[in-house]
Every structure is written in C-alpha cells, then in structure tokens.
Amino acid sequence: MTDFKGSLILAIETSCDESSAAIVKGTAKGPKLLANIVASQVDWHEEFGGVVPEIASRQHLRAIDRIILRALKEAEVSLADLEAVAATQGPGLVGALLVGMAAAKALAFSLNIPFLGINHVAGHIYANFLVHEKIPTPFICLTVSGGHTDLIYFTDQRNYKILGRTRDDAAGEAFDKVARYLELGYPGGPAVEKMATNGADNINLPRALENSPDYDFSFSGLKTAVINYVHNKKQRGEEVDLADLAASFQQAVIDSLKIKVDKALANYQPQAMLLAGGVAANQKLRTDFQSLAANYDIPLFLPPLEYCTDNAAMIAAAAYYRRLRGESDPLSQEVEPTLKL
C-alpha cells in the first residue's frame, strides 16, 4: 500500500486495564504509527492487587471518547480521513472489550467505513511488525503476557503452527500471583523485576516440564514452590530474603521459557526469533533471549517496552495487514472473551 490519505486506521484496545487508541498510516514500508494514546488504570486497581473487571469497564467508558479525540489530535487527522476502524475483539474481560468494540463499531457505522475485530494476542505479535521493517521467515515467536504463553512457528506472516502453550497459569500471571503473595505490589511483573535487581538467583526452584517431549509450559507449580519456600522459612523462624526470592523466581520463569524455545530452535531451525507481550518487557528475559538467539546465529526481534504491554498501536498494526488484504468484519461481530489464535 502506498502513502495515501485513505490508508489511515484508528484502533482501540480495551481488553484489560489500559484504555488505548492509536492511528497508523499505510506507507510503502508498512504501517507508520502517528499516535498511540494509553490511559492506564493501574492506580484504580492497585489497592485490590489485581484487575477488578467492573472498575475496568467503567474506567474504559470514562476514557474512551477522550483517548480517541487525543489520538486524532496527535495524529493531526480528522474522523473523515479514516479508512477503517479496528478494536480488540478478544481475548479479555467481556465488559472491558465491549466498550472498545461498541465505540469502534459506532464510528465505522456512522462514517460508513470498514470495521475490524482484532485478536489481542495477534496484536502483541504484530507489535514487532510496527517497528521492524524486515523480519525473515520462517520465525518463531514466544508470546508471554498476563493471559498467554504461546510458542508459535510462523512459515510466513500469516501461516503458523502453535507448538506449545501453558497448561495452567500464564507467565505474567505467575509474576502477578507471586508478587501479590509476597506483597511486592501491582502490576506484579515490574514489581518482581525491581526487587530482583538487588538479589541473587540462589534459591532452588523448579523448571516445570523440563524433560517432557512437548513444547508446553506450566507455571502454577512454580508459584506453589515459592509459597512453600516462604512457609518453610517462617516455620523455622528464618527471614526470607525477598530480593533473592524474586531473582530466583524470575530466573525460574525465564529458564522454563528458554528450555522449550531452545528445543524449538534446534528442531525447527527458523531464520529469526520474536518475543511479544507484557512479560517481554522484562530486561533479564530480553538479555537471556538475546544470548539464546546468538547461540543459533539468528536475530532476535523485540518490541520496544511501550509496545510490549497493552496498547492500541499493536492492534492498529494487525488491522493494517488485514486491510492490505482487503479484509473487514461485519458490525454484527461479537466480543469473544476467550478468543484463541
């Protein structure tokens, strides 16, 4: 698609606790981001130690008009310039998704332009295509977020095979639950990472499914191991070194991911490796995967930190590639809280 006025896409993301609106413009080199407004709800959920769905929906409702207007203003475009409107269809919290989908459909209907419902997990992966111009194929992508841990082999940008998924908790969910148990704060991932910077990986924790022949992950046993470790320490009247525990837990998550990705790299011999999702914002994970990619002499592609956690820019990027193929969805499309890739 060349650089023309009609290729402007507005995307809305309201699947969890960030209200976000973004605008991309089609260029000969791919989607160019003109605006990405993220209104975080972290302050509202913090005191509950996790996302409260009812509060999330209400905050999205309060923010939605404002973030769309701010995105248009920042991009210096008007509603009449838009070629299509997209929103996250799922997975996510039903009441939260409904706010973004209803807004996007209403705009598409009133402007008489195409509407697209985008898979949130696909959005995380497409964050890479927003910032990296040429990603060689085939590639392997590890998506690690609060709700997902998926290892996927892509023969090209559209065709893929899911190699493995988590059997229980997602990697980010493990960070959130452990942070909550250790009272480190919310959201859990950045809180654990911060605590871990002053600690050492010196506590023995499990790497689940290490020797199983598949590419699946499991993190609920690791969470239990952390809880048992604290119980045992307390029973013996010993202090828990929170920094060491955070560093050991963080490394156990990273190693569990690395073991399966390493095996997939050896067996599938891809030309590149991608990371996506909120947990990919973790610095230790980023450096460890950089070394893993170097072992196989392939490049590692990572979204910048702000496109790892939830944002509408990634939804706009995914929508852009669907529009390139002339695709759109009917306005009768419903939200899908459990939508899979």
Binding site for ligand KG4 (CB under 6 A): 16, 124, 145-147, 172-173, 175-176, 187-190, 193, 277-279, 281-282, 309-310
Structure tokens at 11: 């995307």
Q: Give least dist CB 326 to ligand KG4, A.
A: 28
Out of ligand KG4, Zn ion, none, which partner does residue 281 contact, by CB within 5 to 8 A per kind?
Answer: ligand KG4
| Residue whose CB is less far from ligand KG4, 173 or 336 | 173
Sign of CA dihedral 75, 114, 325, 137: positive
Out of ligand KG4, Zn ion, none, which partner does residue 188 contact, by CB within 5 to 8 A per kind?
Answer: ligand KG4
Give residues with Cβ within 8 angstroms of 190, minimum separation 6. 281
Is 256 a binder of Zn ion (CB under 5 A)? no
| Residue whose CB is less far from Zn ion, 93 or 195 | 93
Out of ligand KG4, Zn ion, none, which partner does residue 176 contact, by CB within 5 to 8 A per kind?
Answer: ligand KG4
Structure tokens at 172: 């980010």
Q: Which residues of 198-207 are buried (b: 16+ CB within 10 A; e: fewer)?
A: ebebebebeb
| Residue whose CB is less far from ligand KG4, 90 or 189 | 189
Q: Give least dist CB 155 to ligand KG4, A.
A: 25
Q: With residue 285 as reference, give the H or E element that holds it.
A: helix 283-295
Q: Give least dist CB 214 to Zn ion, A.
A: 24
The dihedrals phi and psi of 8, each to the nearest 5 degrees, come to -85, 130
Q: Which of 310, 312, 335, 336 binds Zn ion (CB under 5 A)?
A: 310
Among the candidate windows 94-102, 139-147, 177-185, 248-256, which touches Zn ion by CB under 5 A? 139-147
Residue 197 DSSP one-character state? T
Among the candidate windows 31-39, 213-221, 231-239, 305-313, which touches Zn ion by CB under 5 A? 305-313
The distance of Cα 256 from the centroid of its chain, to the nearest Å, equals 18
Q: Give least dist CB 332 to Zn ion, A.
A: 25
C-alpha distances out from residue 160 to 42, 154, 202, 221, 296, Å: 34, 4, 38, 29, 21
| Residue whose CB is less far from ligand KG4, 83 or 169 | 169
Q: Which of 57, 145, 166, 256 binds Zn ion (CB under 5 A)?
A: 145
| Residue whose CB is less far from ligand KG4, 13 or 83 | 13
3-state secondary structure 269-283: CCCEEEEECHHHHCH
Outline where 10-132 has alpha helix (H): 42-46, 53-75, 94-111, 120-131
Binding site for Zn ion (CB under 5 A): 145, 310
